[in-house]
Amino acid sequence: MLLKDHAKLLFTGDSVTDCGRARPVGESAFGGLGNGYVLLIDGELHAVHPEKKIRVVNSGVSGDTMRHLDARWQTDVADLRPDWLVMLIGINDVWRQFDAPLIPESHVLPEEYRRLMKLRVAEIRPELDGLVIMSPYMMEPALDDPMRRRMDEYGAVCREIAAAHDAVFVDLQAGFDQLLKHYHSYVASGDRIHPNHIGSALISRLFLQAIGA
């Protein structure tokens, strides 16, 4: 288990992380973590490792891209002073290129995505005990699907930055690819992106395995 006793574990990202969490910051008490994978991780950590007393915090925002996360980084990441930071960002960076093709100003292309993530990771990594970067994903088994191909590009950026900054990389795309060998994507998501309880459980499991919990 990589987390030390009494560690503050902050999750940030987009709607997959947000899941209706409390504002301004989601905490474990009073249902503040939302109803997604962060809630499942919190439950597992307290049920299996109660002696560690991990504080789980959620600052995900629905609809966010890396550009949005960069703009709110100070208040929603740095000022919260986490011991461990978990980032899951990039799905909307890709999605806007396909669902809003005529609004190019909403597109965060790979070069900008890489630049902003590298900047923020390099800035905060010395302040952290640990960093986890989880790959964006699409529940699409056809590797030649244009949006799936694009998503894989952003996942490769996450892997690259994680390796450069001694971070744990969690390949969510690979995890969902295994699931899709047995089930259609509708079993885990209604739109191939937003996870239901099965998709959220998979994200939770992959994260917990990665940190040795």
CA atoms of 11 and 111, how far apart (whole Å): 24
For 92-137, write each residue's pLDDT tens digit: 999 999 999 999 999 999 999 999 999 999 999 999 999 999 999 9
For 15-40, write each residue's pLDDT tens digit: 999 999 999 999 999 999 999 999 99
Catalytic: 76? no
Catalytic residue among 76, 93, 189, 194: 194
pLDDT the model gives residue 67:
98
Give the H/E segment covering residue 74: helix 73-76
Residues 6+ apart with CB under 8 A from 21: 32, 33, 34, 38, 58, 59, 60
Provide mean pLDDT across the span 186-190. Answer: 98
pLDDT the model gives residue 19:
97
* Domain residue spans of the chain: 8-210
Catalytic residue among 14, 15, 42, 185: 15
Catalytic: 15? yes
Question: How far, in Å, are 27, 46, 202 from residue 88 at the CA level?
Answer: 18, 22, 14
pLDDT the model gives residue 17:
99
Catalytic: 46? no
CATH superfamily of 8-210: SGNH hydrolase (3.40.50.1110)
List the beta bridge partners of residue 27. 57
